Structure 1
Amino acid sequence: MPSKFALITNECLFMKRIFQTIILLNILLVFGVQCTFFQKEKEIPFWENPVTLDLDDIVKRGYIRAIVDNSSTSYYIYRGRRMGYEFELLRNLASHLGVRLHLIVKSDIEDAFILLNKGQADIIAMNLEQSENRSLYANFTLPLGEMSTVLVQRKTGPKVTHIQELHGKTIHVPRGAIYKSQLCALHQDSTLYFNVVEMREGREELIAKVLSKEIDYTVADKDLAMVNNTYYDDLDISVEISEKSPVGWAIRTNAPQLEVAINDWVTKRTKSGYLATLYSKYFLNSKNSYYRTNSAFSSLGGNLISEYDEIIKKAAETLGWDWRLLASLVYKESAFDPEATSYAGASGLLQLMPVTLERFGVENANDPYQSLMGGVNFLRYLDKFWRERIPESNERIKFILASYNIGHGHVEDAWRLTLKYGKNPQYWENVSHFLKLKTDPEYYRDPVVKSGYAKGHIAVNYVDDILILYNSYRVLVEP
């Protein structure tokens, strides 16, 4: 039997443990509540505080960023050229605003609204129907047209001929598209129930999945569905989901200058007939649309940029370049025409002058491989010229491209001016500023300038054009 002392000791230990446990629980409670409080702080919706960036800022920056979809009517590559209804509209708008056009390819519409409000894009150019929810996310331009939507299915198999026959079916739609709310509106009929599954794929990707029998049904704008119906015999688009309604582009709610400017442009282009002509080109001329989008030289129908892709790939290896970058340069110079000749006498795929052809061992300027390799050898020479001064390869490529266009002497002058005025000459952004100033006597007569006057802004735009085209190739064409 334990002693009285032992019982008292055990009781004291027990009470001590209870006391320690209570203190520990209080500490955890206090700090746990604080931790929970900070972690569960209410997240601000992405649309409530959009980045302040209006037309003045866009013009000052020099380019406007637009989100487009990769589809046969929105934006794609055909024989090296950028094409598409939205693309041509945006290019015209950018010219109207006096800025360059940068495109962002995005199928997910929800992501597009987030990028817009974060200031990473300025326009969502997807022909969007306005809705109550979308009015929270963005403002909408004047209508660029009207769209209705249809069910896309196969002619063979369990074909739906009436909305009521969708009962029990599963319909896949692009995430964030208006199609989900249109379909949900059909649920008002209490006898009709079906599943709507949102996907990250774009409209034409889902149409392709219908054709490959991965899914049975999707929904698309009628105009886009009609274009695809021209290509594919097994596509049925006879069931209408919604009637025609106005569609436009989305812009930030706090960009009134941009909204006014776009609406002014829409009004003028509608009156001039430009919108109707462009609509006819992409939506009504189905034969041309078929050839463009099903060609092996289309980013939609194949994965070729030009018939010279293979020799461009081999040549790019000797440069250490992405072949699509070299292809962008070739397109800019000759549009892949080996017999192209400029007013100044430059010829071949990379438009070399006779003296340069001779210097780099080109005997036949019209031979695609010879002229291409002559240009590549010249590019290698320029790479060596700039390598020590511009060690970072992505920056050096910009110097090489500008030198290819205007001559490395003029670019070197701008490099010296950049150094003289205390800027870092290893960055193209700094050097391009002084290259553009070479039309000003104050700069081209500076003692550090050796090559004199030059229209440097042309070379700067040349670099931008190639890099913008390269970005399109990189997004739409596989490596």
Structure 2
Amino acid sequence: MKKAIILFSSILILLLFGVQCTFIEKNFGSIAKEDTYLLDLQGIQNRGFIRAAVDNNSTGYYIYRGRRMGYEYELLRDLAKRLNVQLHLVMVSEIDVAFDYLHEGKVDVIAMNLEKNLERSEKASFSLPLGKMSTVLVGNESSGKITSWDQLKTDTIYVREGAVYKTQLCALKDSLQLNYTVITSPDHEETLIDKVIEGKIKWTIADQNIARVNATYYEGLDISWKVQQENDVSWVVRQNSPKLLASLDTWLSDKQKRFIPDVYAKYFLNSKNSYFRTNSPFSSLAGNQISVYDDIIKDGAEQLGWDWRLLASLVYKESRFDTVATSYAGARGLLQLMPVTLERFGVQNPDDPSESLMGGVRYLRYLDKFWMERVPDTSERLKFVLASYNIGHGHVEDAWRLTLKFGENTQTWADVSKFLELKSDPDYYQDPIVKSGFAKGHLAVNYVKDVMSVFESYKALVHP
């Protein structure tokens, strides 16, 4: 009987605590807090690239005439150069999602204009300020210029979710006893500005910089009424990345006097240039063209079985879409073929964009066929083809032989590229199995990284 009572009591306690824990987790979240992703500066440098979250707007990151541009992009590119790593950009439209990505290790830095507050400080570490930001009310001039908050009466103001705008407006509403309504929206500031222009909503709030850029190509946009005066804005990193934060702050200190103000002026103070960049059909902001040669690039890519944006990335890397570009070594045309290669692949007029491009396509098909049996995987073989296009397939084949000799995987670019980089070391380029001798293989490895980096940008910003 005693054993039965003990058993019954144990089961009852287990059930009660089990139900209690389930209830708590269901209503208040998991008791155990998930660990934040761990990776500081050294780990990022060992990995070889830094991931940055950037805002999806008309000034942060976009493509213009094949070239990657944007205020945050140019700053991050310089930071990555300082840290001696590649730059990988992650476009994020929601601020809360950006903080989630930071916590999970999907990004290492959030490169957005963020004001410091208690809630955000609990989630991340703020850098030194990049500058100051003020917020403005955005409306149509047809609604009349606002000179007093009382004029809004019972109007509704739509604001971006996760931004500081709602807090600012609610504080004003309470202190001045106003009657307007604030509604949060998942839409970006620029999308909300579009809705103001279209008459779908009457008011929104935006960073003054974004509002100014939009005012350059939207007539009748009123951005004159400030919601709040200038406050410091910063980037953020994980709280467990103190060395990355220290390097970021050092870089900011070094760049505050000249570089950052110059980039700021380029994107925010030159309204004419902003207008052309944001309205050009060759801008990812307004059109979907990379260059005037997109049609022939698409034809060539179809023959290769490539995404046309990949071939466009190679053309950009080689010639910047300049049909008469000539290198110091005599390479010519959109794909910068050497005279002997031009002749071999039937190009008589390298200045003719269609003829020179198709000559390059035939050469790329030859390289793809050369590597097909040794590297069956298409995505891996692509990198062998690009490296061969840059340095010659003989040097890449040497690296392939060295990879085989030292027992590593000859079908992965990660392994073969290590030996290609070693072709400047006499211990390797003097090996009897090496047929093409010395090479600055690291340049070809970086070339592949550069082309693929441009391709990733084109994929993110230009429709297929």
| TM-score, L = length of structure 1 | 0.89
CA distance in 1, matches of 2:16, 2:344: 75
Write the distance in 1 (CA, Å) between the matches of 2:184 and 2:374: 51
What corresponds to 1:4 in structure 2?
none
Deviation at 1:132, TM superposition (A): 1.1
The answer to whether 1:306 aligns with 2:283 is: no
Matches within 5 A, 1:389-408: 389-408=374-393
Specify the alignment match of 2:200 in structure 1: 214
Partner of 1:133: 119
Q: Is the 8 A contact 1:47 1:117 kept in 2?
A: no
The one of 143, 154, 169 equivalent to 1:168 is 154
Compared with structure 1, are the counterparts of its residues 237 and 433 closer, same or farther at alpha carbon in structure 2 (3 Å cutoff)? same
Distance in 2 of aligned mates of 1:287 and 1:47: 50
> Which structure 1 segments of 5+ residues have no match?
1-26
Q: Deviations over 1:331-382 (max 9, x none)?
A: 0000000110001010000000111111111111110000000111111111
Shift of residue 35 of structure 1? 7.3
| Structural RMSD (CA) | 2.3
Q: Deviation digits for residues 92-125 of structure 1, max 9, x if unmatched? A: 1111122221111111111111111111111111
Name the structure 1 match of 2:443: 458
Residue 109 of structure 2 corresponds to: 123
Assess, with a 3 A threshold, how the Cα gap between structure 1 residues 35 and 412 changes in structure 2: closer, same or farther.
Answer: farther
- The answer for the alignment partner of 1:351 in structure 2 is 336
Matched residues in 1 for 2:177 and 2:19: separation? 49
Matches within 5 A, 1:263-274: 263-271=249-257, 273-274=258-259
> What is the percent sequence identity of the aligned residues?
58
**4+ residue runs over 6 A deviation:** 27-33, 45-48
The residue correspondences of 1:141-160 to structure 2 (distance < 5 A) are: 141-157=127-143, 160=146
1:55-454 aligned within 5 A: 55-157=41-143, 160-189=146-175, 191-271=177-257, 273-454=258-439
Change in Cα spacing, 1:372 to 1:35, as seen in structure 2 (3 Å) is farther
CA 1:358–1:40: 2 relative to 1, 3 Å: farther
Question: What's the CA shift for 1:161?
Answer: 4.5
Name 1:18's counterpart in structure 2: none
Give the superposition deviation at 1:170.
Answer: 2.8
Q: Deviations over 1:162-215 (max 9, x none)?
A: 323334333222222122222222232373244433333322222222222333
CA–CA separation in structure 2 for the residues paired with 1:201 and 1:404? 43
Please state how far the C-alpha of 1:217 moved relative to its aligned partner.
2.1
Q: Aligned partners of 1:261, 1:111: CA distance in 2, in Å?
A: 25
Deviation of 1:70 (Å): 2.8
The Cα of 1:148 is off from its aligned counterpart by 0.3
Q: Aligned partners of 2:31 and 2:145: how far apart in 1?
A: 41
Aligned-partner Cα distance in 2 for 1:36–1:360: 75
What is the CA–CA distance in structure 1 between the aligned matches of 2:201 and 2:32, rounded to whole Å? 32
Larger displacement relative to structure 2 (166-175 or 409-418):
166-175
Q: Distance in 2 between matches of 1:259 and 1:419?
A: 42
The answer to which of 37-46 and 289-298 deviates more is 37-46
Instruction: Output the TM-score relative to the length of structure 2.
Output: 0.92
Structure of higher CA gyration radius:
1
Instruction: In structure 2, give the amino acid aligned to 1:191.
Output: Q
Structure 2 residue matching 1:220: 3-state secondary structure: strand
SS of the aligned residue for 2:260 comes to: helix
Q: Is contact 1:47-1:137 (8 Å) kept?
A: no
For the residue of structure 2 that corresponds to 1:236, the secondary structure is strand
